Structure formats: structure tokens, C-alpha cells
Amino acid sequence: MKQFEYISPCHFGLEAVLKRELLDLGLSIVKVDDGKVTYTGDENTCARANIFLRTTERVLLKVGEFKAETFDELFEKTKELPWENYIPRDGKFWVTKASSINSKLFSPSDIQSIMKKAMVERLKSVYKTDWFEETGSSYPLRVTIHKDIVTVCINTSGVSLHKRGYRKLTSKAPITETLAAALVMLTPWKKDRILVDPFCGSGTIPIEAALIGARIAPGINRTFLAESWNNIFDNNMWLKAREEAKSQELADITMNIQAYDLDGEIIKAARQNARLAGVEHLIHFQQKPVSELSNSKKYGFIITNPPYGERLEEKEALPELYKEIGKVFQALDSWSYYIITSYEDAQKYIGRKADKNRKIYNGMMKTYFYQYMGPKPPRTKNIIDSKGN
């Protein structure tokens, strides 16, 4: 079966999580760069990556890579790429995004128009036509130029993969579904351990945790742009990938996931989102301030995204809020806590230095993922009966 090269972007700081996901899918890693992972696989990889990956924004099909320092070079080398292998005679194609870092070519609009012209010239000679209707399937390109190296890809996903389809209602400052999933995957939490999010907002962290625990593939209920690319991929691969995903789901599962927020309307929205995600029965939602958080169970997890203080009046309230968080941590002394925040003084007011601190870029915002590790629960001994069970 023909092999393709794919690139999947992710939040800066989460490359290792995405790499682990790709390895778990049995894929071969080519390289890991800041904010993206390149890997190889057959045509089925396109469907499986889109449906199974939790921490990437999209699955890009790599067309080619070359060096270009002038617009003439960009035109000629784009023209040399075998576009007829990817774009049919009636295909709609354009450079939807061009970005340039530390390169001589830096104007996105010029890069976009020159590459489009080069593609047209190539396809005119192949298809023996002077006019393209562009009434067929869409093939949007994404181009990055880094130190004069041009990487050309086609977006197979369409709408960003963080849009799982369940989040119809959001809170004021939600984190993306892909980032929420990555945060859960950065912890040792497993589905049999209690998980609490005391600042749940629209419910993204608890919902993603429930999807992970129940082994529900994040892309199982959405469609992808490449599903109409019959000229490149076999349509059956999407059906096969969805069947594979369905076969892995854990239907009769119970989990102890609790989601709280001070805002009653937001709790209603979070519950509705969980319902749309098919995991409402796995999460307990309740209107409650963080100060009232207590639990008799040991060895639980808190994974949360508390307020950052984007507005001045909110900033003034942050010291007291983070002191409150610190008090809760002290009371739940056998628990582990994971907090993502851009608040620089978080550790100071929590009153304890984190065991680990990972920098993650949430868009252009630098955030910190503070990790406070609690004690591990004692191992349960397996009791073997006389029949060896």
C-alpha cells in the first residue's frame, strides 16, 4: 500500500503527548519540531489519525518540501510538485494559510497568490485546459516557510479537530478540547481514580477525561474534508476507521468525575455539552465554589483551569482565589493537583512550589501547567483462588 507523509500540529509544549498518541496508533515518527510532529503511514492513516487523535488541530497531507529564497524559486519549485496526484481536474484548490519564520519570503498574500499561479500552470499542462471550474471537492493548502524551507501540505481535516461537535455552549475563557485532552493525558489519572475540576466552565476538561476513560474516539461523530477525496483515498477507509473506533469503546463503564463551577448557568451549559458528547452519565455536575470542595476519598486528582484574571477587577481578586485553592490542597493532602494558568504568582499564593512546571502556549498566551504530585495509592494484591483465577 502506498505510503504518505503527514504532519500534525499541536500546542507548543505538547509535542511529546502527540508523539505518544501517534506511536500508540502504530505510526512511524519522522521528526518532532516545535508545535508539530511529522509521521508516515498508508492511506488508512489519514482516517485513523483524524478520528483517533485527541491532541492535534489537524492532519495535514504533505505534498513536498523545498528551499526558496526568491519568489521566482517559489513559483518554479511549486510548479515542479506533482499536483495532478492530489488535485483532480474539477478540484477547488487555494492556499488557505501561509506563514513565514526567519525567511527571506515573508508576505503571506504574495506567497499565496504565487503558489496558486504555479499550481494552475502545472495542472493546465497536465489536464490540457486553460480553465478550471473548481466545482469539485476542496483541497485547501497550508504552507509554512521556516529558514527558507517551504513545506507544502493539504489539510485533510477541514474544520480544526478541536471542534469535536459537542461544545455548543462555552464559558468566558474556555480552553480547547485538544488542550484539555492533553492536560489529562499529561497526568497519571486513570478511569478508576476520582477526578475533580472545581472550575469546570463549559465542562471541557471533565468531558475530555470521560471520553478518554470510556475510550471514545474524539472524531467519531464528525466529518472530515478528505472524505470526498476519492482520487487519493479509498472511501472504505473511513468506514473501517469508525468501526475500529466503535469496537474499542467501553459501554458499561462507571467513573467518578466531578465538575463544579460558581456559575449555575455555566453548569447547565456544561451538562448540555456532556450530553452532546455522550458522557453526561459519567460526570457529576454541581454549582459550588472552590472553598466548599472536600472529599472523603483518598488519592484523587484535581485537573483544572482556574481564572487567569484577564480584566483588571478579576486580577485584583486572584491572590485570594489562589490562597483558597491552596487551602483546599492542604485539606486533600493525599490528592494530586494539576493547574493550568497564566497567573505568574500562582505558586506564591497557593503556598507551595509545584513538583513540576511545564510551559504550554495556549495560542499566543504563555501558560504554566503546575503539577503537584500526591502519594501513590497502595497496590492492591491480586487474590488467586484454587482454580487459578
For the stretch 143-183, pLDDT in tens is: 999 999 999 999 999 999 999 999 887 766 679 999 999 99
Residues 138 and 16 in one domain: yes
Residues 285 and 356 in one domain: yes
Give me the number of domains the chain comprises: 2
Give the model's pLDDT for residue 382: 54
Residues 111 and 199 in one domain: no
Could you please report the per-residue DSSP string of 91-143? -EEEEEEEEEESSS---HHHHHHHHHHHHHHHHHHHHT-S-----S-EEEEEE
Question: Residue 211 domain-assigned?
Answer: yes
Question: Residue 277 domain-assigned?
Answer: yes
Question: Residue 40 domain-assigned?
Answer: yes
Lookup result for grid cell 518554479: 76
Phi, psi of 112 (to 5 degrees): -60, -50
Quote the cell numbers at residue 332: 486533600
Q: Check which CATH number belongs to the domain holding 143 and give it.
A: 3.30.2130.30
For the stretch 24-33, pLDDT in tens is: 999 999 999 9
203 has pLDDT over 80? yes
Question: Residue 47 domain-assigned?
Answer: yes
User: For residues 294 and 314, which has the higher predicted lDDT (pLDDT)?
Assistant: 294
Residues 97 and 187 in one domain: no
Question: Residue 164 domain-assigned?
Answer: no
102 has pLDDT over 90? yes
Residues 114 and 213 in one domain: no
Give the model's pLDDT for residue 171: 64
Residues 119 and 188 in one domain: no
Q: Span 340-349, mean pLDDT?
A: 94
Question: Residue 382 domain-assigned?
Answer: no
Question: Residue 170 domain-assigned?
Answer: no
Q: Span 133-141, mean pLDDT?
A: 97
Per cent of the chain over pLDDT 70 is: 95
Q: Check which CATH number belongs to the domain holding 287 and give it.
A: 3.40.50.150
Residues 71 and 8 in one domain: yes
What's the mean pLDDT when you consider all of the chain?
94
Show the domain range for 322.
Answer: 177-217+246-372
Residues 116 and 181 in one domain: no
Going by pLDDT thresholds of 50, 70 and 90, the confidence category of residue 363 is confident
Going by pLDDT thresholds of 50, 70 and 90, the confidence category of residue 46 is very high
Give the model's pLDDT for residue 386: 45
Question: Residue 222 domain-assigned?
Answer: no
Give the pTM: 0.94
For the ranges 52-56, 158-162, 358-362, 380-384, which has the lowest average pLDDT? 380-384
Terminal-to-terminal C-alpha distance of the chain: 43
310, 344 in Cβ contact below 8 A? no
Residues 323 and 270 in one domain: yes
Per cent of the chain over pLDDT 90 is: 90
> CA 99 to CA 301: how far, in whole Å?
39
Q: Span 93-107, mean pLDDT?
A: 96
Give the model's pLDDT for residue 172: 64
> CA 244 to CA 267: how far, in whole Å?
33
Give the model's pLDDT for residue 383: 46
Residues 144 and 186 in one domain: no
For the stretch 222-249, pLDDT in tens is: 999 999 999 999 989 999 999 999 999 9
Going by pLDDT thresholds of 50, 70 and 90, the confidence category of residue 315 is confident
